[in-house]
Structure formats: C-alpha cells, structure tokens
Amino acid sequence: MQASIHVKTAEEQAAMRVAGRLAAQVLDMVGEHVRPGVTTAELDAICHEYIVNTQEAVPAPLNYRGFPKSICTSVNHVVCHGIPGDRRLKDGDIVNIDITVIKDGFHGDTSRMFYVGEPPVLGRRVSEIAHEAMRRGIAVVRPGAQLGDIGHAIQSFVEAERCSVVREYCGHGIGRVFHEDPQVLHYGQPGTGLELQAGMTFTIEPMVNAGRRHVKLLRDGWTVVTKDHSLSAQWEHTVLVTDDGVEVLTLGASGAI
C-alpha cells in the first residue's frame, strides 16, 4: 500500500458514513427547488442555509482554494465546477448539483443530475449514461480490484454508447482531506493501477460528454465547459471498500445508487 493512501479505521469509517449521509440529504432537500425561473445563486443559498443551520455542518467548497460559493452548479454544457450566480434555469436545462459537507472533520461528497422541467432527449440520454457509468464503476470495487478496473468499466460503457469520458478531472480519495490520494480515473485498462484494500474511501464521479471529450477552463478559473458546446452530465458517490465489496456512503433517501 502506498504510504500516501490513508486506510480508514472503523471509527473513521463511521464518521465518513455520517458526512456522506448529510451530503445526500442536501441533494434530497434541494430537488424540489430545481425548477424554471430559479437562479443557481438561490439554490446555493438554500443549500448553504440547510448545511450550516439545519445540519450544523460546513459547506466544503466555500473558500476552498478561493471558490466563492457553497455548492457547484453545472448547467448543460458545463462539465464541472460551475459557480452559482444570477443565471435563471429554464425548462429543458439539465444541471449537476455537487455537494460536499464537512461534519466533525470528515468530508462527504456527492452529486446528481436534475432536470428543469422536461429535458431534451439528448439531455436525458447523456444523464442516464453518466449515471449507469458511475454504477458500473462502483460495481467493480472490492479488495484486490485495481483502479484501472474502475476506469475501464466506465470508459468501455460510455464509448459503446457513442459518448465520451472527460479525462482532465477525476475521482479522488477523501476523508479528513477534501482531495487526497488516490486519483480515480474514469478511463483505463483492467488489471492496472493501485490495488484496492478494505478501508479505502474515494469518489467515483464520471463526467460524460454527449460530444467529444475535450474541455476548456473559463476565465473565472473554475468553470469547465465542453469545447464543442455539447451537453455534459456527471453523477458522484463517495464509496468505502469493505472486506467483501463496496459500501456507498452517499445514498439518498430512496436507497438507490
């Protein structure tokens, strides 16, 4: 095991479960507010108030390396790290809401796609492909599996569906630190990379583009968009490698992955 990989103790795993559950509850809560006419800044304010006052937790993105808001809102062709602002959502938009909370020093990190009204066929399709890709990545997690197995499961499925996987941004280890080792790529070859062991916690969060995989970073230093302006979708869970498989720490009230 690499020295930089932090395997969580039973007590740390319990704390991670709490943080993960709280992050999922924020997404459960905000869903009803995602509707035509709402601004992404209003969604940010709703989530901030809920995290700070109801959950008595900390929104991890706020002031993280200068990020100015408490959540990320990535709409349509925004791949990730969209900054909430005065943009009003309209019928047909698809939006990823990315939540990370800190509770008792531990991070829970998860994101979901939401439809604003009725999404276009392609918007629904790319969202469903991204969701299934995440599920397939999670399904291969177990002690003895390798990171390349996760990436291959995701990449092979997405590309068979004639979409593309973003390569510049990836999943990551998580615990007391927001982003720790290992990096979890969403592409790769089976039988390669770090071997997983029980007690590891990390995110799986494939970013899937309806068009080409290439992206660009906007001048704000955060917002990442598709170069070809195609729609993009992302889903994310924090997972724990167990003795015999995987536990998803960020399940919502539905219990579905």
User: What is the per-residue pLDDT for 4?
Assistant: 83
For 38-54, write each residue's pLDDT tens digit.
999 999 999 999 999 99
Q: Are 71 and 57 in contact (CB under 8 A)?
A: no
Distance between CA 36 and CA 115 in Å, rounded? 10
Give the per-residue pLDDT at 191: 98
Q: For 144-180, how does the pLDDT look when each residue is reduced to its tens digit (9 = 90+)?
A: 999 999 999 999 999 999 999 999 999 999 999 999 9
Task: Tell me the pLDDT tens digit for each residue of 194-206.
Answer: 999 999 999 999 9
Neighbour tally for 255: CB within 10 Å: 7
Q: Which CATH number fits domain 10-248: 3.90.230.10, 3.40.190.10, 3.40.449.10, 3.30.565.10?
A: 3.90.230.10
- Residue ranges per structural domain of the chain: 10-248
- Residue pLDDT, tens place only, 92-126: 999 999 999 999 999 999 999 999 999 999 999 99
3-state secondary structure of 24: helix
Can you tell me the distance from the alpha carbon of 148 to that of 4, in angstroms, rounded to the nearest whole number?
18
3-state secondary structure of 106: strand
* Tokens representing residue 48 in the block: 């901030």
Q: Are the C-beta atoms of 51 and 6 separated by less than 8 Å?
A: no
Whether pLDDT at 2 is above 70: no
